[in-house]
Chains A and B, each alone.
Chain A
Amino acid sequence: DVKVTQSSRYLVKRTGEKVFLECVQDMDHENMFWYRQDPGLGLRLIYFSYDVKMKEKGDIPEGYSVSREKKERFSLILESASTNQTSMYLCASRQGQGDEQYFGPGTRLTVT
Chain B
Amino acid sequence: AQSVSQHNHHVILSEAASLELGCNYSYGGTVNLFWYVQYPGQHLQLLLKYFSGDPLVKGIKGFEAEFIKSKFSFNLRKPSVQWSDTAEYFCAVSENMNTGFQKLVFGTGTRLLVSP
Which residues in A have some Cβ–Cβ distance to B below 8 Å?
A: 4, 33, 35, 40-45, 48, 50, 56, 58, 90, 92, 97-98, 100-101, 103-106
Knowing A103-B44, A104-B43, the reply to whether A42 touches B51 (Cβ < 8 A) is no
Q: List 24 A-B contacts (CB under 8 A).
A: A4-B43, A33-B103, A35-B106, A40-B9, A40-B108, A42-B4, A42-B106, A42-B108, A43-B90, A45-B103, A48-B101, A48-B103, A50-B101, A56-B97, A56-B101, A90-B43, A90-B44, A97-B101, A98-B51, A98-B94, A103-B43, A103-B45, A105-B43, A106-B43
Knowing A40-B9, A43-B90, the reply to whether A97 touches B102 (Cβ < 8 A) is yes
- For B43, the chain A residues whose CB sits under 8 A away are 4, 90, 103-106
With both beta carbons as reference points, the residue of chain B lying nearest to A98 in the complex is identified as B32
Q: How far is the CB of A36 from chain B (nearest CB, A)?
A: 11
With both beta carbons as reference points, the residue of chain B lying nearest to A31 in the complex is identified as B101
- For B97, the chain A residues whose CB sits under 8 A away are 56
* Docked CA distance A56–B98 (Å): 12
- For A97, the chain B residues whose CB sits under 8 A away are 101-102
Question: What is the 8 Å Cβ interface bit string for chain B, positions 62-103, against chain A (1 contact, 0 not)?
Answer: 000000000000000000000000000010101001010111
- For A103, the chain B residues whose CB sits under 8 A away are 36, 43-45
With both beta carbons as reference points, the residue of chain A lying nearest to B42 in the complex is identified as A105
- For B94, the chain A residues whose CB sits under 8 A away are 98
* Docked CA distance A58–B99 (Å): 12
* Docked CA distance A106–B44 (Å): 9
